[in-house]
Structure 1
């Protein structure tokens, strides 16, 4: 009679043991040197669980983008502990940082598409870091991802031939085509009207749920708070709240 209870306890323990996608503990960050040194982030501690969609809000200059660049292994961790996808980033070797970047998708306020490349070519760029794919396979994946974001008939269009919302859809396709475990989005709706912005975040939510990835999205747009599992709020470099959406 004890076996089922033991099995249940083991299952509960295994579920609790799932490592967060992101775990930050006491992260501080500074810009400048000597007398010009200024602290930007103060004792940042939080975790992101697998499959979560979390919004990061707060006024301009509060440190949101700096935090995002640390999470994406685009900036060196100076103080504290920051684990992303099971790897400690503080003091990590360049090869480790490159490996982390390959598993992270990035979406920015400016879509950052290369004007000289078609939509499909822009999306394919995200696959060039991944070995083992032939050019034909990469093209097929890019076209399939563009179809998933509603641009199946725009694969050969250049950015100047696309609307703002369509460009951001290409950026989403580029971020998700490699099936990353973590997506970092910095104000992805800021340059869009309300209808296009809503369509973009709804699409991000749908695709992320399907792929099972975690999203951390910086936003000032209160109209999209309902898509989140949680909302984090930053003020003056500090996480002030970690409430449920």
Structure 2
């Protein structure tokens, strides 16, 4: 089966001429359909840059980056737009519109999909909010929701179009441990139901166990790709040593 994401010898640069700076170095990675991949590493290691390239938020500059069979190296704005329509995005800042209710925020994420009627958008938005446990908050505005509830609206918005890939950047960073665990468990459950792939960037060692594989980055390079359980156990050992 062809991988959902195939990255070969990927390098990426910001700026031009004397201000040109390399931020990703010789990245090689394949992600298969249905996998949950967590990317870890210190701030500034290139995790978010790689996530935005895979998500079609900017064009790759050197090497090869194929997403759903489409090459994104020097991709045109039209191709990037088409790729983005196959993705769902969940970020630390939930990015909800304060002037829209929960159901309106979710429905807004469906409006780029011209194959859906208005009634279908309404029905699917309500179903997704019910799936994340917010059936009693459909008409609440973001200011009237807790941090965990806002992030659940963001999850519903991301999953409502039935994307092939979910890209999440620090989705639990602004949440307490219980809310963060609930959010990632919900992402895991719903993504498995929809058979979509999750690529999640995090500093939160408490959620490593949901991953099929963990990718470690440092200074713009992949420094380790391994099975989640082994790496999660290693993190726990490190925490135990540091606490003694």
What's the TM-score bracket when you normalise by the shorter of the two chains?
over 0.9
Aligned to 1:35: 18
The CA distance in 1 between the partners of 2:117 and 2:226, in whole Å, is 45
The question of 1:53 aligning with 2:42 is answered: no
**What does 1:111-122 correspond to in 2, within 5 Å?**
111-122=94-105
Aligned to 2:213: 230
- Structure 1 residues 203-238: Cα deviation after superposition (integer angstroms, max 9, x where no partner): 000000100000000000111111000000000000
The question of 1:243 aligning with 2:226 is answered: yes
The CA distance in 2 between the partners of 1:41 and 1:124, in whole Å, is 35
1:91 to 57, 74, 98: 74
The question of 1:150 aligning with 2:106 is answered: no
Aligned length: 228
1:109 to 92, 95, 116: 92
1:125 to 101, 108, 111: 108
The CA distance in 2 between the partners of 1:169 and 1:49, in whole Å, is 25
The CA distance in 1 between the partners of 2:81 and 2:201, in whole Å, is 23
Q: CA deviation at 1:63?
A: 0.6
Q: Is the 8 A contact 2:216 2:222 kept in 1?
A: yes
Unpaired segments ≥5 residues, structure 2: 229-244
- Structure 1 residues 46-92: Cα deviation after superposition (integer angstroms, max 9, x where no partner): 01000000100000000111111100111111000000011111133
The CA distance in 2 between the partners of 1:23 and 1:58, in whole Å, is 21
The CA distance in 1 between the partners of 2:31 and 2:226, in whole Å, is 13
The CA distance in 1 between the partners of 2:117 and 2:6, in whole Å, is 35
Aligned to 1:11: none
The CA distance in 1 between the partners of 2:221 and 2:76, in whole Å, is 28
The CA distance in 1 between the partners of 2:48 and 2:79, in whole Å, is 22
Q: CA deviation at 1:93?
A: 3.1
Unpaired segments ≥5 residues, structure 1: 1-17
Aligned to 1:218: 201
User: 123-132 or 156-165, which moves further after superposition?
Assistant: 123-132
Higher-Rg member (1/2):
1
Normalised by the length of structure 2, the TM-score is 0.92
- 3-state SS of the aligned residue for 1:151? coil
The CA distance in 2 between the partners of 1:106 and 1:131, in whole Å, is 19
2:55 to 60, 67, 72: 72
- 3-state SS of the aligned residue for 2:100? coil
Normalised by the length of structure 1, the TM-score is 0.92
Aligned to 2:180: 197
The CA distance in 2 between the partners of 1:73 and 1:134, in whole Å, is 26
